Amino acid sequence: MPANKTDTIRKTWRAATTLVREGTQRSGWFETSEALYLNSGFVYDDAADAEAAFAGPGKDARFVYSRFGNPTNAMLEKRLAALEGAEACKVTASGMAAVFAALACQLSAGQRIVSSRALFGSCHYIVTELLPRWGVESVLVDGPDLAQWKTALARKTDVVFLETPSNPMLDLVDVKAVAALARKAGAQVVVDNVFATPLYQKPLELGADVVIYSATKHIDGQGRVLGGAVLGRKAWIEDKLVPFLRHTGPTLSAFNAWVLLKGLETLPLRVAAQTRNALAVAKRLEKAREVARVLYPGLPSHPQYKLAKRQMKAGSTLVAFDLAGGKKAAFAFQNALQTIDISNNLGDAKSLICHPATTTHQRLPAEEKARLAIGPGSLRLSVGLEDPADLIEDIDRGLAAARKAR
């Protein structure tokens, strides 16, 4: 059996096996775990070898500089592509670098982007402020409302960008229906799949062209590193994305790629346990008198539960809810917590809570917050790996404080 058997055996692996084994490329030392190639450059046998490395075709068969590619990053790219069922993947320094590169590499002045309104804060900035400054027409629609997509996509469009479930209130976009409208409008569909994780939703199978991750979230999932990924067709990645990345340099550190490779090995275990915990927490919140509304795609009370069933394999590791007592209650709830941390990260082993109206979405004008249903009492909870009984005890402490604060 060759030491590099992962590269020689035909792949019929299921997700869990893929996440432990796909992409492993052993060095001459035949190490068990993926090696960390923490180097910026590469050397050549002679001048002709260097010339060949820089000339096509097959020029990407050899690493020439870590801004362009690195063996550790390449292992991560191979593993992520196999999990997603994508032809190709490029990793980036952060999720935002992935979003920006995927949009900027293909949009030019005079073109048009249609996007769902409920976006991660920095995505909102790129779509509504940065791209328009460069002459790209930007149109926002309410993601769950197909009629608005239909109207916006009645005109020729170049890119459609959406996030589902959305941050922070977990509304859903029907990816299949929007992709069909986008196709007619001539647009590439880019989906930010962070909240669903690559395990629970397959945008490419639903008709999307490009999928994006912040690997900072569930893929690391242990609060250590930033990272991002863009996945799609080989031709698009090579012709549009790679030149943009090579020449602008949002490169993922090989160290971070190595941490993310290790993170992927336990992704299915962590996400399954966090989803179980999230469901238990969502059910507890649903019963509480202090809570006006719980939004969890895995519960029948979610306004788009049928769509969640159709396009997602399971709920989510996140729960959004509104406290009846507004900002006072939301602050009292957070301040009473002894286990769950107040933090704006998500997908982490540690349960984290944030108040979007005053943190992640503070910048948004009041009427935009209202349109997104981000109220003064809204909280977003990312459920971690703690014992669910401890989490529910903590939630009960928060609820008691919210009751007193009214």
Ligand X SMILES: *Cc1c(COP(=O)(O)O)cnc(C)c1O
**Residues at the site binding ligand X, with contacts judged by CB under 6 A:** 94-96, 99, 120, 123, 163, 167, 192, 194-195, 214, 216-217, 226, 228
Closer Cβ to ligand X, 195 or 296, answer by number = 195
Closer Cβ to ligand X, 6 or 166, answer by number = 166
What residue number has its CB nearest to ligand X? Answer: 95
Q: How far is the CB of 98 from ligand X (least distance, A)?
A: 7
Closer Cβ to ligand X, 106 or 214, answer by number = 214
H or E element that contains 92:
strand 88-92
Q: How far is the CB of 56 from ligand X (least distance, A)?
A: 32
Rounded Cα gap, residues 261 and 347, in angstroms: 16
Q: How far is the CB of 330 from ligand X (least distance, A)?
A: 20
Q: Is-contact 193 212, C-beta < 8 A?
A: yes
Closer Cβ to ligand X, 170 or 385, answer by number = 170
Q: How far is the CB of 346 from ligand X (least distance, A)?
A: 6
Q: How far is the CB of 92 from ligand X (least distance, A)?
A: 9
Tokens of residue 243, six digits? 């030149």
* CA-based nearest residue to 143, from 152, 135, 134, 155: 152
**Cα end-to-end span (Å), the chain:** 68
Rounded Cα gap, residues 128 and 101, in angstroms: 16
Rounded Cα gap, residues 378 and 371, in angstroms: 13
3-state secondary structure of 91: strand
> Which residues have CB under 8 Å from 308's CB, separation 6+?
172, 297, 298, 302, 315
Closer Cβ to ligand X, 185 or 200, answer by number = 200
Q: How far is the CB of 217 from ligand X (least distance, A)?
A: 6
> Which residues have CB under 8 Å from 51's CB, separation 6+?
none
Closer Cβ to ligand X, 226 or 330, answer by number = 226
